[in-house]
Amino acid sequence: MKTIPGLIIILAIQWVNIAQTAAADKLIIKGEITGTKNTGKSFKIKLYQKYIKATEQFDASTYQAEIKHNQFRFDINTQMEFNYLQIVDTTVSRHTRELLFLMRGVPEINIRWIQGKIRFIGKNSDLLNCQSELFDQMIYVEKGMSMTTDAAYYDNILKRKQTLHGKMDSILNLYKGKIAGKDYKLIRANVISRIDMAMVSLFSLPPKSLETTPYINDLFRQYFIEASEEDKYDDQTVDQSFSLAQYIYMLRSLEVNLINRLKGKETSFADLYQSLQTNYSGLLREKALLISFIELYFTKRDAAEYLDRAYRLFTPGFYKKKMFAFISANLPGTKVFPFQFLDTTGKLVKLDDFKGKVAIMDIWFRGCKPCLDLAPHMKAIAEDYKDNKDVVFISLSIDKNKADWRAAYKDYSGESFVNLNVGELGTDQPFFEFYNIRMYPTILLIDKNSRLITISPPRPLTTEKKEAFKKLINQHL
**CA nearest neighbour of 195 among 234, 172, 167, 236:** 167
pLDDT of residue 160: 92
Q: Which residue has better confidence, 180 or 230?
A: 180
What is the 3-state secondary structure of 6-57? CCEEEEEEEEECCHHHCCCEEEEEEEEEECCCCCCCEEEEEEECCCCECCEC
Using the predicted structure, report yes or no on whether residue 36 has a pLDDT greater than 80: no
pLDDT tens digits, one per residue of 299-346? 788 998 899 999 999 999 989 998 988 888 888 888 899 999 999 999
Residue 11 pLDDT class (50, 70, 90 cuts): low
At 18 the pLDDT is 38
Residue 53 has pLDDT above 80, yes or no: no
Top-confidence residue, 69 or 79: 69
Domain ranges of the chain: 8-124, 139-330, 340-475
Helix, strand, coil abundance in the chain, percent, nearest 5: 45, 20, 35
Give the model confidence (pLDDT) of 255-279 as tens digits. Answer: 999 999 888 899 999 999 999 999 9
Q: How many CA atoms lie within 13 A of 121 on its CB side?
A: 8
**pTM here?**
0.77
Cα distances (angstroms) measured from residue 379 to each of 270, 363, 376, 392, 409 = 34, 14, 5, 12, 12
Check residue 5 and give its pLDDT: 40
Higher-confidence residue: 265 or 29? 265
pLDDT more than 70, % of the chain: 87
Kindly report the CATH number that applies to the domain delimited by 8-124: 2.60.40
Q: Which range scores top for mean pLDDT: 83-87, 127-131, 437-441?
A: 127-131
| 98 — pLDDT class (breaks 50, 70, 90) | confident
Residue 13 has pLDDT above 70, yes or no: no
User: Do 8-124 and 340-475 have matching folds?
Assistant: no
**What pLDDT score was predicted for residue 113?**
64
For residue 467, give the 3-state DSSP assignment: helix
pLDDT at 449 over 90: yes
Q: How far does Cα 469 stand from its chain's mean position?
A: 29
CB 459 within 8 A of CB 465: yes
Average pLDDT over residues 423-430: 85
Return the pLDDT at 398: 95
CATH of domain 340-475: 3.40.30.10
Average of per-residue pLDDT across 404-408: 91
State the pLDDT at residue 190.
94
